[in-house]
Structure 1
C-alpha cells in the first residue's frame, strides 16, 4: 500500500515495484518477538533476499495486504517466516518511518509501525525468509546496538533506541492505541 508523508493511502503497487532504486513510501511493519525471560528473537535475513540479504535484524518484518490490519499482518508473517503462533501483537511505535539505501542503490522507504509479540514456543524458520535465528537478552542487544557492536539492519538500528526509551523491561512497555496508527493502517 503506497502512502503519502502523512500516512494516507495513495493506492497499491506490487511488492517487486516498491523495492528498487526509486522506492515510493509504502506501508510495512516491524515486529520484535520476546520470550517470557525477556530475550528478543533476532533473525538473519535469507541470503537471497532483495534487500539486506544475510543481515541480522529484528524478529520479523513485512507488508500488510490491502485492507489487512497491520496486527493481523504481523501474526500472519510470524507464522509463515518463523512457524510461530501468537494471540496478539502490541503496537509500540505507531508512526515509525525510515529510508535506507543499500550499497547497490536499492532503497527501503517505509512507514513502518513497530509491534511487540510475546511467545513461548519453538521457532521453525522458513529458509525462504530466514537464514538463522538467535535469542538474545534485550539489555545485551540494546547495549550492542548503542555501542555499534552489532551489525544489524538500518531500520532495526533506528528502532532499538526508540523502544529502549519505553523502559528497560520490554514486558512492561505500554502499548499505543490503534488510533495512533497512520490513516492507511487503520483498517
Structure 2
C-alpha cells in the first residue's frame, strides 16, 4: 500500500535515552474533572499505576484530508519507534493546553498549523506492555490543517507520513502504534469529520 511520506530523518537508538536523564520536567496532576490538584515529575507520573495528569493530542490534516502521523524516535524513553498521531505531549504546569499543543508541534515537527481548534477531551488509562509505563491522562484534543512540509527533530521523530483512512488501516495491521492512539483518534473523529466535511472518509 503506497504511503506518501514527508521527509524525515532517522533517529538512532541510544544506550541511555536522552529525555529520561535531562532536567526533570514537571506535569500538571488533575482530578477526574480535569481540575489541577498538583504537580509531579514526568517519569514518576508514568510509573505504574500512573498518576492522572494533563496531556494533549494533535491531529493535523493536509488539504487532501490525509492525516499527518509521526513515528516516535527510537531514543524516546516511552513508546520508542511506534507510530502515533501528529503530536502528543504535556503542558507545563499552568500552561494552557492550546498553547502547549502549538508549541510542541513547532518543536517536534518544525511547522505551524494553518488552523487548529479544540476538539474536546478524553480520559484514559493505558498501560504500555513494552515499557511497563502507564498513561493515566486527561487529554485535550486538537484538530487542524497544515500546508507546510514537516521538518522533524530527529531526537523526537524518526519518520512522518500523510495517510488516508485506508492507508492508516493498513499501517495498523502491520506496525505497532502507541497505546493511546486508537482512543484519542476515536475521540477526535467527530471534529476531524467536521473539519474535512468527511470528504476523506474519516
TM-score, normalised to structure 2, is: 0.75
Q: CA deviation at 1:154?
A: 2.0
Q: CA deviation at 1:160?
A: 2.4
User: Aligned equivalents of 1:34 and 1:129: distance in 2?
Assistant: 20
Match of 2:59, SS state, is strand
Structure with a larger share of its residues in strand: 2
1:153 to 175, 178, 181: 178
Q: CA deviation at 1:22?
A: 3.6
Q: CA deviation at 1:85?
A: 1.6
Contact 1:74–1:89 (CA under 8 A) maintained in structure 2: no
Query: Within 5 A, what are the aligned runs for 1:13-32?
Result: 13-32=40-59
Q: CA deviation at 1:63?
A: 0.7
Q: CA deviation at 1:96?
A: 0.5
Q: 1:38 and 1:88, CA in 2 relative to 1: closer, same or farther beyond 3 A?
A: closer
Are 1:111 and 2:131 counterparts? no
User: Aligned equivalents of 2:194 and 2:163: distance in 1?
Assistant: 14
Q: Which runs of 4+ in 1 moved over 6 A?
A: none
Q: Deviations over 1:110-157 (max 9, x none)?
A: 1011111211001001011111111111x2256448x85653212111
Q: Deviations over 1:5-48 (max 9, x none)?
A: 12111111222321222420000000011111111111011112
Match of 1:96, SS state, is strand
Match of 2:40, SS state, is coil
Q: CA deviation at 1:166?
A: 4.9
Q: CA deviation at 1:163?
A: 3.2
Return 15-24 or 50-59, whichever deviates more: 15-24
User: Aligned equivalents of 2:78 and 2:61: distance in 1?
Assistant: 24
2:121 to 95, 117, 125: 95
User: Aligned equivalents of 1:144 and 1:162: distance in 2?
Assistant: 20
1:55 to 82, 87, 90: 82
Unaligned runs of 5+ in 1: 174-187
Match of 2:126, SS state, is strand
Q: Output the aligned Cα RMSD.
A: 2.2
Q: 1:130 and 1:54, CA in 2 relative to 1: closer, same or farther beyond 3 A?
A: same
Q: Deviations over 1:153-180 (max 9, x none)?
A: 121111223333457564238xxxxxxx
